[in-house]
Amino acid sequence: DLWHCKALIKASGTHRYRRIFLSRAKAGKRKLVNEQEIRSLLEKTGFEEIICEELDLYEVAYILNNAEVVIGLHGAGLANTIFCRPGTTIIELFGWHYSCEYWFIAESRGLNYAAVSCLGPDKTQGNWSDLRFKYSHQEINAADIYIAHDHLETSLKSLGIL
């Protein structure tokens, strides 16, 4: 429960501020098509890959509470940013589906939020008015995501992360 997470965080003593990449490798939808390539870029710049499904809630809370930057695809893992300290930078990668719940979390917690627009699985930039005639809402919501290496690198530079 939340009380135990807070107790673990307080008991941790020293804090190591980390750069975290929340992977969706084990998720059923909205996976990063070129995750291996993007993971390599992020690891070279000091990011650690975290797969929330492999950790318990206490571990996730501790890791995110000690993060300086969290980058992740739109999905449930970003809900864990409620454990981040104020001032943490949250970068949401989204494809065809975008909704603002993680921006709301960031605003309410004093986090720095940025959204980076990515491409759909077919490497096209979808827009709602076109996609809704081709796909169902469920297909749009579940679509995998592609981000070009140079687009992510440029985005991270513009945010002062690189």
38-94: per-residue pLDDT in tens? 999 999 999 999 999 999 998 999 999 999 999 999 988 999 999 999 999 999 998
Query: In this predicted structure, what is the pLDDT of residue 65?
Result: 92
Q: Please answer whether residues 30 and 75 qualify as being in contact, where contact means their C-beta atoms are separated by less than 8 angstroms.
A: yes
Query: In this predicted structure, what is the pLDDT of residue 2?
Result: 54
| pLDDT tens digits, one per residue of 53-65 | 999 998 999 999 9
Q: Which residues of 108-124 are buried (b: 16+ CB within 10 A; e: fewer)?
A: ebebebbbbebbbeeee
Within 8 A by CB and 6+ apart from 25, the residues are: 31, 35, 51
Distance from C-alpha of 90 to C-alpha of 69, rounded to nearest angstrom? 6
| pLDDT tens digits, one per residue of 116-152 | 988 888 787 766 566 666 777 788 788 889 999 999 9
Distance from C-alpha of 60 to C-alpha of 5, rounded to nearest angstrom? 9
